Chains A and B, each alone.
Chain A
Amino acid sequence: MSRASVVIVGSGAGGSVAAWELTRTGHDVLVLEKGRNLLPGIGTAAGIRHIPFANDEVKAGRAFENQDVVLEPRTARTQADAASDVARSFVGDVNTLPTTVGGGTVHWDAKVPRFWRQDFHGRSLYGPIDGANVADWPLSYEELARFYDVVERRLGVQGDVRAMPETTLAQAPRRRQFAMPPNPPMLAGTRLAAGAATLGYHAYPFPMAVNSRRLHGRPRCNSCGFCSGYGCPILARGSAAASFLHPALRAGARLRPRACVQRVELSANGRRAVGVSYLDEHMRERHVRADVVILAASAIETARLALLSASTAHPNGLGNRSGQLGRNVMFHLFTLGIALFADEPHAWRGPSTTFTIDDFVGPDSSAGARATGLPYLKGGICEVGGGLTLLEEADLYTVVPGTWGTMLKDAMRTSPLRRHLAGLSMVGEDLPQLANVVDLDPTIRDVYGLPVPRITHTSHPFEIAASHYFGPRLGAICAAAPGAIAAGWLPVGALAEATGGFGSPYAGPASTAHILGTARMGRDAETSVVDRWGRMHELDNVYVADGSVFVSSGGFNPTLTIMALSLRMARHLAGRIG
């Protein structure tokens, strides 16, 4: 087969990288994207222009690029609910991602740490954890490193190797300096970094796919502050769309927005995909044939699509003879530190945060950690020096019922939690569990008439304990920051867990765009869904190229690793079909 036709479901981080590589190697690529295209000019000679994103907090809350939960709700329940046959205990926004061309990286924070060597060998290095499904990945950091290099070069990543801790470089070795120097350090981050230093912790410039100088035809970041959660108005951020999908389209790939894939269509014997069916913007059913199908719709939607593709040959869902499909869904569990200052460190200026701390990644098997009853604890990296925007601040004050009138106006004016605040957040590793699963809701349908995904999830005691173990250290950093007059820490993920999960008042602050697991990668077809390259064990030509394949969540923002894995898969596939 010299020129294979490839259909990619999803235009986000994994799908765009696969499209770029497979187009580059001569294949006929069609990308089907459920969302609309909000990047005019993508794929044209003129490039992306007339960007509709702006410094606009209202639009960010009005389902612009985000999944519209009125059209596509999700449902959720806890493991205890499931044991009691409760169909669902929440309907609405369950860690949704942008549903648009470019996927989540349209408004990502663009923080791109690499996973560490130890993340790929968790079971071998540290052993099992009761109640969790800890396993090794079927690959090593060394196998992924060169793909990290390529993805970073295309994205354009800033950072400073010389400032990185020895532990970090030992766990995630790098061959060269970053393409760009760091952005100007945010004052709020500088304060907290100084606090960390007094306690022996090491803050350093956060590697991020943000231009600190003009690169790849895109301008430098001007620190407007509307970064995480906002589309970049000037395209200073690297992204799936700008860095991979656009050049793929220029090289001949095709993009079809508003194409909701509802089924992977199979050969008579069920061994091969022959194409997909989808609904277009007018809800008309369409069919497209393909030699290869790549699922890259994100961990929840990919599992859902595979379940929707059940057939006689795959009665429990595509590639799910093992019963593993949808299991092990992981979300990072965040813990916050907060410092208030008498002066105003304007934490809203800059690309969300400009520093990170690796000291709580772990594992920590000290006596203190083992006192929790677990053999070790792991936290994650800390994003250092973030703040709140104006409407986020208003939302926070009005969490207290009846807070309005002059009390609210005074709070907005004095602004203790915006003008005077700097925070840090720890990206806590979430252990995989077989009982944390994505399946199809038995009743509720979306606008396309398809069963919505139902997420059953309860945090493991491991991540709850880790949050309470590392949280006081975050508070201590905040208290030690020069000029801090009040400080504290908040186990926001653990609080959400304790007060209703996705229906909790804490669910908003605890929500995460880090969605992983559901189609685990592994060598054993009885305990995993895809092989070490991302191909479904039971199918010859169906691949998965998103966070679904993660075996563990690590304590790191996962998108760079999603992209590197997708590139590795695509190179393997190109060699196989080329």
Chain B
Amino acid sequence: MTCDEAREQFSAWVDGALPSPEREQVAAHLAACPECARELDRFTHTVRLLSGVGRPRAPVGFVDRVMEAVRREPWHRRALRFILGPRPVQVPVSIGATAVIAALTVYLYQHVPEPQQAAWWEAPPAVERIEPLTPIPAEPIEPAQPGQPGPVPPSPGSFRTPAAARRAPAPSTAPPSARAPAPAEPAASPGALAAEATAERAVHDRAMAERPRGEPEGAAPTPSGPKAERRDSAERPAAPAGPARPGVPSERDPIGTPRGAAPAPAGQVAKERQQEPSSGVVLSRAARAPDLVGRLTVTDRAAGLVALDRLAAGLGATGLGRRPDPDATMVELMVPRPAYERLEPGLRAIGAWEPEMVPGEPPAMVRVLIRVTGQ
């Protein structure tokens, strides 16, 4: 062992941390090298001096200042320590985290409207009753040709709900058994409602496509002949639907078939009628999510809803439903694309309109969900 190699081991030697074979080698070298032995003495003395150095004392009042700082510790640090810290009964962190997330989810669902709205579209309850909507002038529709199996044209201009319309008697093509209202009608299943909404949208799209050329879409129709008669009846306030005359399409039929289109099978119509609720109006169950969603804040909710009805009538919108809640009323509309541009200006004229979701390219019929809030 050289002198350098021996001196490299001085620290471990002094601390007694040198393993036995190396210790013996260093000892042998020290015995043969007086210079290294003197160096080891100086080294040992240095370490002894260091261990005798006094320790500084913390300033007076230090403990109080620390404890005061601990008391001022931010709440999130305390909360984190509470969550992650040990408990008298140890709970696995994963279980605790799951419980916290579950509690937060329930809290948010109950207190924030957006999650409720999202859940509403995905997993709605079977049936919800809402107040009937005010009828608005219907678009003129040509009557069915005599002898033609009574296709029911769409009525995009009528502000009505599918369920209310379903309460109307069956069209002439339906067999008597189907036209007869069921005394106790079961709630519509979500699947049936979704199919209904899909059919409804298809009908409206076809109707828009079949508008007479030259007539501006969404323009007020000119009453004449049977059209005027139908318009007059439509302008009357909503009344219990009476039986429709055979061969005359009922404007309260929700799933009208456009002229020239194949009518729905009678059995299907009858089935749909058996599925409708016995009373009230069902807020449309969406086969697709709404295209436009927003919040309309008004000072007087009742007045705001009336104004909204007027706006919808002016736009030729179809009311799909309305659901009053204690703090808001959900209104769902189908607005023809040509009139869609006038919808948001009209909403801003009624109250504070805050769109939350807007369509990129509006479809032929824009599905609109408005959350009306106000006193």
Whether both chains belong to one complex is answered with no
Residues of A within 8 A of B (CB): none
